[in-house]
Structure 1
Amino acid sequence: MNDITHQKNFHLVRTSMYLLLIFIFMLGFFERFAPAAFAADLMSEFKISGSTLGTITAVYFITYTALQIPAGILSDRFGPRKIVGTGAIIAGLGSLLFSVSPTLSLIGLGRFLVGLGGATVFIGIMKFNTQWFHKRNYGMISGITLLLGNLGAAISAGPLAVILDYFTWRNTFGTTGTISIVLGIIIVLYVKNEPSEAGFTVHYKDSDKQSYKANQEKWYLELYKVTVNKHIWPIFVASIGTNATFYAFAGLWGIPLLTDSFALSNNEASLYTTLGLTAYGLASVMIGWWSDKVGLRKPFVIASSFLAAFGWLGLIIFPWQPGWSGLFLYLIIGLAAAQMVVSFAAVKELVPTHVAGMALALVNTGVFLAVSLIQPLFGWILDISSNDVFIDGMRYYTFENYRYGLWFSFIISLTGLVASLFVKETYCGEKNLKSQRSQGLSHPID
């Protein structure tokens, strides 16, 4: 087989596997953010308060968080094929249970299973990217990955609100659960962990092979080295300030704020979170490409952290209303969340390749642990500031109640901004790449 044919086959195989993983990634984003579109339905059907609703939806994030580091270890140890495929099947079963649950306890169990399965998907696909794409394109491919994943999130907002005019949330989750199970089976049967498993030649450093073997035998030592790496922790905190605040808001409270405070319909309010999620996805590609192009990470982390703090403060103190001013502020916090692309790229460049899954999982753990705390705490803040006002059996919240929760988000984002100032510049790993090229060890296929 000549080099041109070999390269075409490589791109075809890589693209087909990548798309399979992306489809399940999109479903995960959909299931993560969908409760915001039918929050009122859940509160009405089960007669629950904001704090209770926040706790139920946070079950997903708590489970997802608890399993991030184990998922990173499993990803480094077994590769993305098994953990993503199995995770997709488990998440699908959770969605099916969620769709038919008659009680809050079973609703919570369904969300637990969705979080259990979904915990493996993001780390698995990022690990796949480290094995199948050249490191000089990692920022851009990470951005594309988040953009495509965010299509699922965008569908969970405005489009889902329209779908719910014709189908129930139970029908919707029953369908997504079935699709997830089918995709999981296909991934287990078809996806390869690295190019060599598919018959493509890739050069690895001998030291990398030895380190990978050591990691298989003593993963806990490698995990320790990752956790004591002082350069990872500023990124950890900065990512919470941009991403955790946005995920918690877009995933639950962003729509109710508008329906409760400004009497918007569910469909109208969902347009705001749709815009924020779309901005997040599109900006993820742009910031990844731009960061790769200029060869820097830190300025983008700082700029997006500042943007997040500005957006949250704007929602609190600016005299905004539904319309352009409100859309602009939702857009700002969505744009800021695109920082995650650069943060993950920087983390990958701060650790050896064979423990990249663990390092990525550590930062992702911080983000989703924060989300699992922010959502119920935001609801608790609403409850204690509402003076127990009820209308038609449901607790009534005003914009002033929501403002207290927004202050909470702003403080977190401000803390992230301070942490971003201490992020170590990695120069996109270019120094290491030049060293590899001088030894003839660069990736033969881009």
Structure 2
Amino acid sequence: MNTQASPPLKMTISLALRVFLPFALGYFLSYLYRVVNAVIAPDLITDMGLDASTLGLLTAAYFFTFAAFQIPLGILLDHYGPRRIEAALLVFAALGAALFALAPNTPMLILARGLIGFGVSACLMAAFKAYVMWFAKERLALVNGFQMMAGGLGALAATQPVEVLLGFTDWRGVFWILAGLTLVSAAGVYFVVPDHRPLDQGTNRQPEAKLRDALAGVKTVFTSALFWRVAPLCVLSQAIFTSVLGLWSGPWLRDVAGFDRALAATYLFWIAAAMVAGFFTWGLVAERLQRLWGVRPMTVAVFGIICFMVVQSTIASELVLEYPTLILSAWMAFGFFATAGILPYAALSQVFPANLAGRVNTGLNLLVFVLAFVDQWAIGAVIDLWPQTASGGYASEGYQVAFGVLLGLQVMALVWYGARRSIRI
């Protein structure tokens, strides 16, 4: 394989910001869309008459279309570059937000939510592709961490700020505002981001000649033993984190911890704040440890994921309820340690050829969001196995079983990763 890097290019602060900020705004909105249903869930349940399974399906529709587009997205990113692809897709996300605001029934909500997922499907992968093109590989873990921080800020905006905004408008008004912001983001990506590195003209800008060659790159990724050693552990941690934070953390705080919606929104804010801190910390730590002592990013990732699993065990077993003052600490630790699962993206992008970076990252993302779709819907289906409480909430036993099963799957993935020590990354 050709692993020759592009010639070095002086990266000024102005150029770095032109590359980074538009993609960061897009990912901010992507995460806001992903998490906002955790706050507006009571309104959706009341207005649309949703049970837990339907609420899970509605919210998870975002992940289904997001995942379905990942393989063609990787090919498009490697062919035509991140600027054009993300700008075009964000227009679809804006349309989906407008349809969500107008939706008269549940099927229309599901359709609109799916269109949003399709529209934001490039927000992370386009950024990662652009950063591989523009930044030195030694900086990828750090700049990827900053990108994830932007998503974390979007998750923050989807919690208490949205709860405050609901005092002035309803959930439909929130989505009209999101539609407008998404169009602004699309324009920013298209008109601000440089189309390509000047030194790459005539070289990396040439698309692969045939679709067959592009699909061969997909096959290279998905038949790699290295990819499949890393994927289960990375994918499960990110899918579970995404599905729980994006919806079920809010209902858990109301149904199991017994919080009102205002206090639950406050807790969700601090969980998202811990996630922002985690994205910054893990990216910085991985970059420094690799540069100064040669510690592999996957070593850092595994340590963080194990901590994430320990925290999940205290929540799934409801041990934290015996010490109510620790509920916030446990959930903030959930948000902080979960972010270590993003490090394998940078780790894998460093060992595959640069021209496959889009397909490597979208391959992981495909698996993450397929599983997030299944997880988010399945958690609701498990919760529905128990009758609703007298107050109209969901039974704590359903959360225990659902979260416990997900934790067990992660333990299996950790054993799989540890058993294949002959492959190093």
Mark yes or no: TM-score above 0.5.
yes
Match of 1:72 in 2: 74
CA contact (8 A) 2:97 2:178 kept: yes
What's 1:163 paired with?
165
What is the CA distance between 1:346 and its match in structure 2? 1.0
* TM-score (norm: length of structure 2): 0.90
Shift of 1:338: 1.4
Using the TM superposition, give the Cα deviation of residue 402 of structure 1 relative to its aligned residue in structure 2, in angstroms: 1.5
Matched, 1:11 2:13: yes
SS in 1 for 2:384: helix
Please identify, of 42-51 and 236-245, the stretch whose mean Cα deviation from structure 2 is larger: 236-245
**Could you say if the C-alpha distance between residues 60 and 318 of structure 1 is closer, same or farther in structure 2, counting changes exceeding 3 Å?**
closer
Residue type of the alignment partner of 2:398: N
Cα deviation code 1:249-294 (max 9, x no counterpart)? 1111101111112331112112333222222222222212221222
* Pairing 1:183-332 to 2, within 5 Å after superposition: 183-196=185-198, 201=199, 213=208, 218-295=213-290, 296-317=296-317, 319-321=319-321, 323-332=324-333
Unaligned stretches of 5+ in structure 2? 1-8, 291-295
Residue 134 of structure 1, CA deviation: 0.8
Residue identity opposite 2:228 in structure 1: W
Q: Which residue of 1 aligns with 2:373?
A: 372
Task: Give the superposed CA RMSD.
Answer: 2.3
Contact residue 237 and residue 415 of structure 1 kept, 8 A: no
User: Which residue of structure 1 aligns with residue 26 of structure 2?
Assistant: 24
Of 401, 405, 410, the match for 2:402 = 405
Q: 2:119 aligns with which of 117, 130, 144?
A: 117
Shift of 1:318: 5.2
State whether residues 82 and 130 of structure 2, in contact with CA within 8 Å, keep that contact through their aligned partners in structure 1.
yes
Cα deviation, residue 215, structure 1: 7.3
2:98 is matched with 96
Counterpart Cα distance in 1 of 2:39 and 2:244? 12
1:298/1:185 Cα in 2 relative to 1: closer, same or farther (>3 Å)? closer
1:408-423 mapped onto 2 (5 Å cutoff): 408-421=405-418, 422=420
Provide the secondary structure at the position in 1 that maps to 2:104.
coil
3-state SS in 1 of match to 2:121: helix
SS in 2 for 1:262: coil
Deviations 1:412-441 (A, max 9, x none): 322332244247443xxxxxxxxxxxxxxx
Report Cα offsets for 1:170-226 as digits up to 9, x if no partner.
Answer: 111101111111321332233223221xxxx4699x7x788x645777101111111
CA offset at residue 163 of structure 1? 2.0
Any idea what SS the aligned residue of 1:32 has?
A: helix
Q: Residue 51 in 1 paired to residue 45 in 2?
A: no
Letter in 1 for 2:325: W
Matched to 2:409, the amino acid is I
Q: Give, in angstroms, the shift of residue 71 of structure 1.
A: 0.9
Deviation by residue 1:320-371 (Cα, 9 ceiling, x = unmatched): 2384311122122212221233111111022100010001001111111111
**Aligned equivalents of 1:7 and 1:329: distance in 2?**
43
Q: Does the aligned pair in 1 maintain the 2:317–2:404 contact within 8 Å?
A: no
Q: Cα distance 1:14–1:344, how it changes in 2: closer, same or farther (>3 A)?
A: same
Report the CA distance between 1:30 and its aligned residue. 0.1
Give 1:83 shift. Answer: 0.8
Equivalent residue number for residue 350 of structure 1:
351
Task: Report the CA distance shift for 1:292/1:14 in structure 2 as closer, same or farther (over 3 A).
Answer: closer
Moved more, 174-183 or 234-243: 234-243
Rounded to whole Å, the distance in 2 between the matches of 1:87 and 1:340 is: 26
Count of residues paired in the alignment: 409
What secondary structure, in the 3-state scheme, does the structure 1 residue paired with 2:394 have?
coil
TM-score between both structures, scaled by the size of structure 1: 0.86
**Aligned 8 A contact 1:73 1:357 in 2:** yes
Residue in structure 1 matched with residue 3 of structure 2 by the alignment: none
Q: Relative to structure 2, which stretch is displaced further, 304-313 or 70-79? A: 304-313
CA distance in 2: counterparts of 1:371 and 1:338, whole angstroms? 15
Shift in alpha-carbon separation, 1:373–1:19, aligned structure 2, 3 A:
same
Task: Give matches, 1:122-137, under 5 Å.
Answer: 122-137=124-139
Counterparts in 2 of 1:419 and 1:143: CA distance versus 1, 3 Å: farther
Q: Flag the 1:416–1:166 CA change in 2: closer, same or farther, 3 A.
A: farther
State the alpha-carbon separation in 2 of the partners of residues 174 and 57 from structure 1.
Answer: 18
After superposition, the C-alpha distances for 1:285-326 in whole angstroms (9 at most, x for unaligned) are 221222122221222122122112211111133532384311
1:87 equivalent among 73, 86, 89:
89
TM-superposition CA deviations, 1:51-88 (whole Å, max 9, x none):
01101111110000111111111100100111110111
In the alignment, the residues of structure 1 paired with residue 43 and residue 87 of structure 2 have an alpha-carbon distance, to the nearest angstrom, of 32
* Aligned residue number for residue 444 of structure 1: none
Counterpart of 1:30, as a letter, is: L
343-352 or 275-284, larger mean C-alpha shift: 275-284
| Inter-partner Cα distance in structure 1 for 2:328 and 2:346 | 29
Q: From the superposition, tell whether residues 351 and 81 of structure 1 become closer, same or farther in structure 2 (CA, over 3 Å).
A: same
Give the counterpart of 2:64 among 54, 59, 62: 62
- CA–CA separation in structure 2 for the residues paired with 1:376 and 1:143: 29
1:276–1:414 distance in 2 versus 1, CA, 3 Å: farther
**1:440 maps to which residue?**
none
Conserved 8 A contact 1:312-1:409: no
Task: Flag the 1:411–1:215 CA change in 2: closer, same or farther, 3 A.
Answer: farther
